[in-house]
Structure 1
């Protein structure tokens, strides 16, 4: 009997050691909403990239807006962003923002067909399954290379999953009325109808990819899942407002996505982090579903953005209590820009 117990103890210890060895800690970077020409960000980008390159991150995720919302959506915007991403040593995962496609219909953006710009991004920046960066990593994509929804990605590493979704600002490309269709815009009513059809199809695809990712994370035993989008889905309306419908009055393009996210988070035993940009202020909180009904395993992280040219380091440890630990990385050379000096 003692030999049997000893054998079982040794086996259990070996199994524990194996699990611990497989769940290693590492770090990733989060950044986005830069460079903006109107904020003169360009001279500060090299210091940011140098700081990230000097770190030990396994990869980084850029959460959208490769340009500001008042400049033209020329082809050079996308080639410049590709060059920026590829100047980082570690792999870079790119999540789309509104400034590079949703808002391109605006007259001060050149009056482009914004759906044509989305198609261009898919064909030129997502023509392969690999990431950006000097070192590449393979990613799972929802769509085929260059086609619809190819920009929706996911990857897993040591007990955590990372999911990128095309959920941009500007109400997720949902057009609610004629005023929002034509204000400072070159869009026709027919183009606005096409935008709404695009929103409906992509919103359903986003939710399907997110649900499938949660299911995969559960099946694989992941302890944490990070969802990265660009748009502020309504968290920065007053947190004290208990009426969620009032808070989301002008953010209805995100309603179905948020409902699905809440349901998936409630059904997930591990930690869930939603990372986004759009509003440009570093922030960490627990806003879902409202101030009096907190989801304890859900955390929102808003990344730095122009004119704050900094990044966030995330330490990932699937054996730890919170799985994800977020640290703001203030780039010393860019601190005077942040202070407005």
Structure 2
């Protein structure tokens, strides 16, 4: 895969800047080859930071330490560029689909989450100190930082109905309580982030998490979850409160807001929020989540995303595949 010519990321005092988003990869040998090409390019072009929106292993793969090690190696390979990671469902909430080869038993999702937290949410990422980086006390994997007059937030929001569906090992009550705690912490973190952005007169806010908050085709509209279930026959939409909070926060902020997520395959940049839209609110479904369906049709984009923030009020956010130069769909 040939690399497009790239220019270095602008300094913080310039009118625009770019950063990299990685997510939903590597799932295949093709993905691994892509990363082997992309990581040196990211480092050589001195992008200021990388956001990783989770799912660093395929959903069909066991939840093995070697995949955790691989994410840590990606972070080490990019150092001193900081990598800001937010968890995905593949590395914890979907792990109870698989058997742990060390025990012969199915994984506990909540035990896997503690492993992910201990490894990737226990300190400050290398190189992040210059950005005023800070973790949330209530949910250590949630973080915030600032660069170029923009306030950034990560939030722990995953697929599988935000960890509320297909709970097959942990007690249903425990899974529900953990999800309720995450939801409350996320909404508080969102409020705090927008308050901080207003206080510092930020020019924009960027929020990154794993789940696609519009991927709710099989769920009832605007029925928020407060429980968990053993299957996906669970009549609630776990992203209802989040979409509403994003809409209301963006409307109050009045300046550009970008939500970056993964989990579904279309590389897309638009303003669709399944009914909770705002004129200054955009959504980027990042590159990744690539594969071939049963009909032999390819989906997703084997790439990482270069995201650019500019001072253009009508189109403040843009993106392209770092290696392919492919632009996201606007539909």
TM over 0.5: yes
Taking structure 1 as the reference length, the TM-score comes to: 0.76
Relative distance call for 1:299 and 1:136 in structure 2 (3 A) is: same
Can you give the 5+ residue segments of structure 2 that lack an aligned partner in the other structure?
Answer: 1-11, 226-233, 291-300, 327-331
Q: Distance in 2 between matches of 1:235 and 1:267?
A: 25
Match of 1:301 among 278, 284, 298: 284
Match of 1:11 in 2: none
Q: Is 2:64 the partner of 1:71? A: no
Secondary structure of the corresponding residue to residue 252 of structure 1: coil
Following superposition, the deviation at residue 160 of structure 1 comes to 0.6
How many residue pairs get matched?
292
> Any residues of structure 2 matched to 1:1-341 within 5 Å, and which?
22=13, 24-37=15-28, 40-89=30-79, 90-107=81-98, 111-131=106-126, 139-143=133-137, 149-175=139-165, 180-182=166-168, 187=169, 191-235=171-215, 237=217, 244-245=221-222, 252-288=237-273, 290=275, 294-307=277-290, 308-317=301-310, 319-321=311-313, 324-332=316-324
Deviation sequence 1:94-129 (CA, Å, 0-9, x none)? 111000011111136762111111111111222212
Secondary structure of the corresponding residue to residue 202 of structure 2: coil
Match of 1:338 in 2: none
Q: Does structure 2 conserve the Cα–Cα contact (< 8 Å) formed by 1:130 and 1:136?
A: no
Q: Decide which moves more: 53-62 or 214-223.
A: 53-62
Following superposition, the deviation at residue 77 of structure 1 comes to 1.7
Relative distance call for 1:236 and 1:154 in structure 2 (3 A) is: same
Q: Distance in 2 between matches of 1:251 and 1:194?
A: 18
Deviation sequence 1:263-284 (CA, Å, 0-9, x none)? 1111112111111000122101
Q: Distance in 1 between matches of 2:127 and 2:163?
A: 26
Q: Does structure 1 conserve the Cα–Cα contact (< 8 Å) formed by 2:214 and 2:273?
A: no
Q: Distance in 1 between matches of 2:254 and 2:203?
A: 7
Secondary structure of the corresponding residue to residue 57 of structure 2: coil
CA radius of gyration, larger in: 1
Q: Does structure 2 conserve the Cα–Cα contact (< 8 Å) formed by 1:172 and 1:253?
A: yes
Greater helix share, structure number: 1
Q: Does structure 1 conserve the Cα–Cα contact (< 8 Å) formed by 2:203 and 2:255?
A: yes
Q: Distance in 1 between matches of 2:167 and 2:143?
A: 30
Q: Distance in 2 between matches of 1:223 and 1:109?
A: 47
Q: Distance in 2 between matches of 1:324 and 1:87?
A: 30
Large movers: runs of 4+ above 3 Å: 21-24, 135-138, 235-238, 243-246, 248-251
Secondary structure of the corresponding residue to residue 212 of structure 2: coil
Relative distance call for 1:234 and 1:250 in structure 2 (3 A) is: farther
Q: Does structure 2 conserve the Cα–Cα contact (< 8 Å) formed by 1:166 and 1:229?
A: yes
Q: Does structure 2 conserve the Cα–Cα contact (< 8 Å) formed by 1:224 and 1:323?
A: no
Q: Does structure 1 conserve the Cα–Cα contact (< 8 Å) formed by 2:265 and 2:287?
A: yes
Q: Does structure 1 conserve the Cα–Cα contact (< 8 Å) formed by 2:221 and 2:237?
A: no
Secondary structure of the corresponding residue to residue 51 of structure 2: strand
Taking structure 2 as the reference length, the TM-score comes to: 0.79
Q: CA RMSD for the aligned pairs? A: 3.0
Secondary structure of the corresponding residue to residue 87 of structure 1: helix
